[in-house]
Chains A and B, each alone.
Chain A
Amino acid sequence: MTRSTSQPISQSTGKPAEPRPLPEPTPVSQPFWDALREHRIRIQWSPSGRQWVFYPRLLAPGTLADDLEWREISGRGTLHTFTVARRPTAPPWADAVPQLLAVVEWDEGPRVSTELVDVDPADLRVGMRVVPVFHDDPDGGLTLLHYRPEDEG
C-alpha cells in the first residue's frame, strides 16, 4: 500500500490528517481494479470449484486449480452485516465518523468488505438489498466500491 489520497487538512483539528490508505493493484488483481475504473465489476469464476471467487487469486481456492476466469457480475447483493463505528477505526478516518462498515454478499455468493453511503444509519437492516456505488479517487487512478440501499419500487 504505497499510494495515499491527498487529504491535507483535518477539519476538526486544523492539522494535517493522516492520509487514507488506498489499495495498490497487484499483477493478479489488476483486472478487478481495471473494471472498477470503468464502473464494472469483474471477479473470478472457478470451474473446478464450481464457485465464484473473491478476492482475486492466482489459483482457485480449495482445488488450487489453474482455472480461474474473469467474468462480469452486476454487483447487486444483500447487506450481510454492518456496524456503525462511533469511534474511528484508525487515525486516517478520524474525521469520518460514524463509519458505516459493511459486508455485502453478492448474488453470486462471495462477500466483499465495503463502506455504505447515501443512507441514514437508522435505516440499515441486515438482509436489505444493496447496489454498488463507484467512488472515483480524485487523483483519477483508482475507483473504490461502495454500496447504498437499492431504491424501492
Chain B
Amino acid sequence: MSGLRGEAAIVGIAELPAEKKQSGPAMFTLDQYARLARMVLDDAGLPASVVNGLVTHGVQESDMFAPATLSEYLGLPLDFGERVDLGGATSAGMVWRAAAAVELGICDAVLCVVPGSMILPRSSRAGAPATPPWYGASSGKYGSPQAEFEIPYGNVGQNAPYAQIAHRYAAEFGYDPRATAKIAVDQRTNAAAHPGAVFHGKPLTVEDVLASPVIADPIHMLEVVMRVQGGAAVLVANADLARRSRNRPVRITGFGEHVAFKTPTYAEDLVRTPIARAADRAFAMAGLERSDVDMASIYDCYTITVLMSLEDAGFCPKGAGMQWVTEHDLTFRGDLPVNTAGGQLSFGQAGMAGGMHHVVDAARQVMGRAEQAQVADCHTAFVTGNGGIMSEQVALLLQGE
C-alpha cells in the first residue's frame, strides 16, 4: 500500500506548562508561535535556518494568509505552508502532513506549532466580538446547517453532544460509570508524575469522579477536559537533520485520517467512530500490530472518548471497553500506558494545543525523556487526534530507531 516510508522524524518537542491562570504577560498568537518555534528548535539542537516548511492551525490576529503571515514574522521562507482545520485532530493531522512533505523532498524541516493561550493583548478600541464565544466549534452564521438545525434546539458546545454519544453507547453495550471514572483516575496518577501538569500533586479517586456534578447525563465534571493556558510544538525533519539533532529521532511510520460528518446527529453510526478506519490504515502502513504499541496517546476531551477510541482503534473488542479499562492499568507503570503526562483531563487542554499535547507526550516517551513517568522500553507509540464531535479523526504511529 502507499504511505510513509518512515524517513521523517520528530526531532524536537516543546510544551509550555499548563496554567489555569496565566503567569506571564498576554502575548499575541504570533508571538506565541515565535516563542514555541524557538523552544522546539532549541530542543532539537538545530538552527532556525533549517526550517523550510510550516503547518499551522491559524493566527488569531489574521483571519487569512496564516502561513505567509507566520513566514514573514518568523523570517523563515517556506517551500510548504499549510493550514490544517481539523479541530482536536489538527495537531496529529499537522504531523503527517509535515512527514509527507519531508518524504517528498519538499522540505528539510517543518515546524508544527500550536499556541495554547487565549489570553491575548486587548485593543482599547475593540468592541464586542461579532460571534458570541459560546458558539465554540459551531457556526451560527446564516446558511450554516448548525445555525438552522442544531443551535435553535440548544444543541451547541461539546458536553451535551458527547453525552448523547455516551447514552447511545450505554443503550447498545451497557455503561459502567466506575469504568469511565477509572480512566480519569489513571490519567491523574500520570499527571502526578509529570510536573508540568495542571493537576500535578492532586490525586483523584473513582469516588471523587462520581461525586462531581453531572454536567450532561452521564458525564461528570471530572470526566471533562480542564481548560488551561499553554502551547506545544514539534519539529519534523529529514534523516540528515535527525542525525544532527540531539534527541532520539521519533519516526512517523504510519497515519490514517477519516472525516465523514460534522454534527453527530448525522453520523452513520454514533458509537463506531472514524478512528477505526484511521487506525487500521495507520497500523497497515507501519506494518505494526496493536500488541507492538508501548504507549498510547488517546485524545481525551471526555473519558468516553478514550474508551470508545481504545475500542475502535482495536485495543479491545467493541463493546468490551468498560470491562477492559477496569482490568488494565492505564498508568505509565501499566500494561497499556495511556496519556502518560495526564492527558487533557489532567495535564490540561491548552485550547487547540490540547491535541499537540498527545503528540508531544508520545514523542517524549519514545525519546526516553519522561523522567518519573517514563514507560520502560518505550519504542512504539500510538497517537489519536479527535476533532469536532468524534467527527474528524487522525491516527499516528511513532517509532524510535
B316 → chain A, closest Cβ, in Å? 22
Within 8 A of B (CB), among A53-104: 55, 80-93, 96, 99, 101-103
Decide if A90 touches B142 in the complex (CB within 8 Å): no
Q: Is the CB of A20 within 8 A of B152?
A: yes
A92 to B156, CA, bound (A): 11
Nearest-CB residue, chain B, relative to A115:
B153
Shortest beta-carbon distance, A117 to chain B, in Å? Answer: 11
- Report the bound CA distance from A4 to B177 in whole Å: 39
In Å, the complex CA distance between A84 and B143 comes to 28
Bin chain A's interface residue count: 35 or more
- State whether A23 touches B152 (Cβ < 8 A): yes
Contact of A89 with B149 in the complex, beta carbons under 8 Å: no
A112 touches B265 (CB 8 A): yes
Q: Which residues of A from 1 to 30 have beta carbons under 8 Å from B?
A: 1-2, 18, 20-26, 29
- Asked whether B153 lies within 8 Å of A55 as measured between CB atoms, the reply is no
- Majority SS of interface residues in chain B? helix
Check if A23 sits within 8 Å of B148, measured CB to CB.
Answer: yes
B-side interface size class: 35 or more
Taking a contact as CB atoms under 8 Å apart, the answer to whether B155 and A113 are in contact is: yes
Q: Does A119 contact B (CB under 8 A)?
A: no
A101 and B164 contact, Cβ closer than 8 Å, known pairs A55-B145, A85-B216: yes
Given A55-B145, A89-B156 in contact, is the A81-B266 Cβ separation under 8 Å? no
* Pairwise interchain contact B264-A103, C-beta atoms closer than 8 A: yes
Give the residue name and chain of the B residue nearest to A25 (CB): B148
Interface string of B125-169 (1 = CB under 8 A from A): 000000010110000111111011111111111011001111110
A127 adjacent to chain B (CB < 8 Å): yes
Q: How far is the CA of A114 from the CA of B160 in the complex (A)?
A: 12
Return 10 A-B CB contacts under 8 Å, by A number. A24-B147, A89-B154, A89-B156, A89-B160, A99-B160, A102-B164, A114-B153, A115-B154, A126-B171, A144-B152
**Additional A-B contact list (19), CB under 8 Å, known A83-B160, A115-B153:** A23-B149, A24-B142, A24-B147, A25-B148, A81-B164, A81-B167, A81-B168, A86-B213, A86-B215, A86-B216, A87-B159, A89-B156, A90-B135, A93-B154, A101-B216, A103-B265, A112-B265, A126-B170, A127-B171
